[in-house]
Amino acid sequence: MQAPDSLSPGCSRCAAVLGYIRYLENSGPSVVTSRRGANATLPCRMRFVPSGYRVKWVKMNGSPLENIVLVGNSLQQKGYGAFARRAYLRRLDKYDVSLLLLDVRLEDAGKFKCELINGVDDEAAELELQLDGVVFPYQPRQGRYQFNYYQAVRACEGQDARLATFQQLFQEWQRGLDWCNAGWLEDGTVQYPVTVPRDPCGGRHLPAGIRSYGLRNKQRERYDAFCFTSSIKGYVYFRKNAQMLDYRRAVSACRSEGATIAKVGQLYAAWTFSRLHRCEPGWLADGSVRFPIVSPRSQCGGPEPGVRSHGFPNQAQRQYGVYCYKAR
């Protein structure tokens, strides 16, 4: 008799004799990487085709309630909620129940479960969808430590971003992010990344890494936010007028060209994915003034690439260029 790991398609009887059934193969990577606006395929494959089976894909969000993505069988399939008309079984052959996810969104990042159900039996495999992107610290005009958790969530969403996960912050720290102010993450913890240990950032004798305050009270306690964004469907450009603009005229200038004034997350995305480089400060939608540097030099804000900030100048009295966003 064949060993269970070598079951051929159609050999469910062999497994049943041994007292159990393995429905799913190890069919691909457990981590899949994509970008916002692209498509992603999460692999899942049956070892054989049970009669009367169902396959259920679930987005795992830490809640007791299941976030069902799709349910299907050999004849039909249906996507649910935000995944309707975006989620399909790939179906390269009769054993393939991989999830094809179209037009990936920021909120799609995270863990998924492929569950094969056959009567009272079931088997599941977990996979993770990661997005290429960038994490940026964010604080409002009023200064640091103004957000409770829910305000931090809304603040990131307002800048075309999502509250970052620990994994996303860790990856940004590996790329060199050093920020001494603590900020909320998606899991309700408060942390901050340090690449150069020093006294104001947890102590010079501690190793570089992610400093953690642990889980905090989401309603009462206030910190900054770490936001995550990925690629954008449109493009960001710098609009410079011969005469610099106050904030109100900057908004109107973008609108006159069929564009909108860019959000902070859109500027970071353009800097990351389109290599946008301008050594000229410009207004953004939140009233801040920033500029993106790919090739750093002394007269452009220092020795490191990044998005430089001039803070939140007086919107009526100060004049700058403006960064506009136009959808493709």
pLDDT tens readout for residues 108-153: 999 999 999 998 899 999 999 999 999 999 999 999 999 999 999 9
d(CA 132, CA 295) in angstroms, rounded, equals 21
- 302's torsion region: left (phi>0), alpha (psi -120 to 50) or beta? left
3-state secondary structure of 190: strand
Per-residue model confidence as pLDDT tens digits over 94-108: 999 999 999 999 999
325: burial class by Cβ within 10 Å (0-12, 13-18, 19+)?
buried
125: burial class by Cβ within 10 Å (0-12, 13-18, 19+)?
buried
- For the entire predicted model, the pTM comes to 0.90
The DSSP call for residue 87 is: E
Predicted confidence at residue 29, as pLDDT, reads 84
d(CA 309, CA 298) in angstroms, rounded, equals 15
3-state secondary structure of 218: coil
pLDDT band at 297 (very low <50, low <70, confident <90, very high): confident
**Fold observed for domain 134-229:** Mannose-Binding Protein A; Chain A (3.10.100)
Per-residue model confidence as pLDDT tens digits over 7-65: 444 444 434 433 468 899 986 789 999 999 999 999 999 999 998 999 999 999 877 77
Compare 290 and 303 and report the one with higher pLDDT.
290
pLDDT band at 243 (very low <50, low <70, confident <90, very high): confident
The pLDDT of 226-249, averaged and rounded, is 93
Predicted confidence at residue 241, as pLDDT, reads 78
Residue ranges, comma separated, of all CATH 3.10.100.10 domains in the chain are: 134-229, 235-326
**Structure token digits, residue 313:** 């100048």
Residue 296 is which amino acid? P
Predicted confidence at residue 134, as pLDDT, reads 98
CB 101 within 8 A of CB 42: yes
d(CA 20, CA 28) in angstroms, rounded, equals 23
The pLDDT of 289-306, averaged and rounded, is 90
d(CA 178, CA 189) in angstroms, rounded, equals 18
Predicted confidence at residue 170, as pLDDT, reads 98
Q: Which of 79, 96, 227 is nearest to 88 (CA)?
A: 79
CATH code of the region 4-131: 2.60.40.10
Predicted confidence at residue 84, as pLDDT, reads 96
d(CA 110, CA 21) in angstroms, rounded, equals 28
The DSSP-derived string for 226-243 is EEEE---SSEEEEE--SS
CATH class of the region 235-326: alpha beta
What percent of the chain has pLDDT above 70? 94
Predicted confidence at residue 20, as pLDDT, reads 62
3-state secondary structure of 157: helix
Per-residue model confidence as pLDDT tens digits over 168-206: 999 999 999 999 999 999 999 999 999 999 999 989 899
Q: Give Cα 68 to chain centroid, integer Å.
A: 20
CB 288 within 8 A of CB 303: no
pLDDT band at 1 (very low <50, low <70, confident <90, very high): very low
Predicted confidence at residue 298, as pLDDT, reads 83
303: burial class by Cβ within 10 Å (0-12, 13-18, 19+)?
exposed
Predicted confidence at residue 28, as pLDDT, reads 75
Residue ranges, comma separated, of all CATH 2.60.40.10 domains in the chain are: 4-131
CB 107 within 8 A of CB 198: no
